[in-house]
Amino acid sequence: MESATPVIVAIDGPSGTGKSSTSKAVAAQLGLSYLDTGAQYRAITWWMVHNGIDTGDRAAIAAAAGKPEIVSGTDPLNPTITVDGVDVSGPIRTQEVTSKVSAVSAVPDVRARITELQRSLAATAERGIVVEGRDIGTTVLPDADLKVFLTASPEARAARRSGELRGADIHTTREALIKRDAADSSRKTSPLAKADDAVEVDTTDLTLPQVIDCVVTLVEEKRAGK
């Protein structure tokens, strides 16, 4: 379903709340582009690791932040991401990258670089776009037409994420999620936070189709009111 009215939708929230699945499905259903901003931060983290940059050295990360060429495909049915022309959709999901992405993402030079990419993609999305991340509604696209903040209990999020990781220990996964939440929420530059005008949706007791329907309804209501 295409619409003549472009709409920019920001979906934020911590890991395991259903952000990616919801965002892709909403974009596909409404004929919008889709951007996974977390994949961009994972991509630049992968590049740092792949090129021997010490991810504990903020100065080294800052100095290299402008070097990799990161390109995000915005088709919700086939989102792609390349670094210097290499498909990294698989490598960026490794535990090594996951364990280092918060540290790399916290460096202001990295956030400035990636935020610029995100705003450019949003500005050129002719049909509109669903952008998911952690600071979209607060920092990247503060003027988004609709802001949604997904939440869920740590237990529910851990269960979902351990399922995605094919049988990972739920307790270990829960502790890792809480640790990453703390790191992302406490960083000085663009922390994970709910925008004042965001609609909060608790997905703990909702199925994925229910969450998708909820967000689609919010988008359609916003379009109707424009």
Q: What is the pTM of this model?
A: 0.86
- What digits encode the pLDDT tens for the residues 95-147? 999 999 989 999 999 999 999 999 999 999 999 999 999 999 999 999 999 99
Kindly write down the DSSP assignment for every residue of 149-181, as one continuous string: EEE--HHHHHHHHHHHTTS--HHHHHHHHHHHH
User: CA 184, 187, 190, 196: dihedral to nearest 10 degrees?
Assistant: 70
To the nearest 10 degrees (0 to 180), the angle between helices 170-186 and 154-164 is: 110
The tens digit of pLDDT for each residue in 40-91 reads: 999 999 999 999 999 999 999 999 999 999 999 999 999 999 999 999 999 9
Nearest to 150 by CA among 211, 225, 202: 202
Alpha carbon distance 176, 74 (integer Å): 29
Residue 132 belongs to what H/E stretch?
strand 128-133
Return the CATH fold of 7-219: Rossmann fold (3.40.50)
